[in-house]
Chains A and B, each alone.
Chain A
Amino acid sequence: MSSTRCAACKHLRRRCPSDCIFSPYFPSDNPQRFAYVHKIYGASNVAKILQDLPVNRQSEAADSLYYEAHCRIKDPIHGSVGIITLLYQQIYNAQTQLSKIQAEIAVLSANAQTESKYQQQVEHMPNFDANLLPQQKGVYDPSTWLYQNGL
Chain B
Amino acid sequence: MGGNSPCASCKLLRRRCAKDCIFAPYFPSDDPHKFAIVHKVFGASNVSKMLQELPLHQRADTVSSLVYEANARVRDPVYGCVGAISYLQNQVSQLQMQLAVAQAEILCIQMQQEPAPITTTSPVLLDADDKSSYYLHQNNLPQFLAFSSSNNNVIYDSFKKESLFGQDMIS
Q: Which residues of A contact B (CB under 8 A)?
A: 39-42, 44-45, 49, 52-53, 57, 59-61, 63-68, 70, 72, 74-91, 93-95, 97-98, 100-102, 104-105, 108-109, 111-112, 115
Contact = CB atoms under 8 A, between A and B. Distances in A.
A83 B169 contact: yes
Contact of A67 (B46, B95, B136, B159): B159
Contact of B124 (A74, A83, A86, A101): A101
A95 B89 CA distance: 14
B43 A63 contact: no
Contacts of B88: 84, 87-88, 91
6 contacts: A41-B42, A53-B77, A81-B68, A93-B135, A97-B126, A109-B109
A45 B92 contact: no
B163 interface: no
- Summarize A's interface: helix, strand, loop or mixed: helix
Residue from A68, A72, A97 with most neighbouring chain B CB atoms (10 Å): A97
B74 to A, nearest CB: 10
Contacts of B40: 45
Given A80-B85, A105-B109, A63 B156 contact: yes
Nearest to B43: A42
Interface string B101-145: 011011001101100000000001110001011011000011010
A89 B42 contact: no
Contact of B43 (A45, A64, A70, A86): A45
B66 interface: yes
Interface in B72-108: 73, 77-85, 88-89, 91-92, 95-96, 98-99, 102-103, 105-106
- Summarize B's interface: helix, strand, loop or mixed: helix
A76 B59 CA distance: 10
B69 A79 contact: yes
A142 B106 CA distance: 46
B139 to A, nearest CB: 13
Given A41-B41, A105-B106, A93 B79 contact: no
B65 A77 contact: yes
Contacts of B12: none
Nearest to B169: A86
Nearest to B141: A83
A68 B82 contact: yes
Contacts of A105: 102, 105-106, 109
Interface stretch (B3-11, B19-27, B50-58): B50-58
A78 B61 contact: yes
B68 A77 contact: no
A39 B85 CA distance: 22
Given A68-B81, A68-B82, A91-B91, A42 B45 contact: yes
Given A93-B133, A102-B102, A108-B106, A45 B42 contact: yes
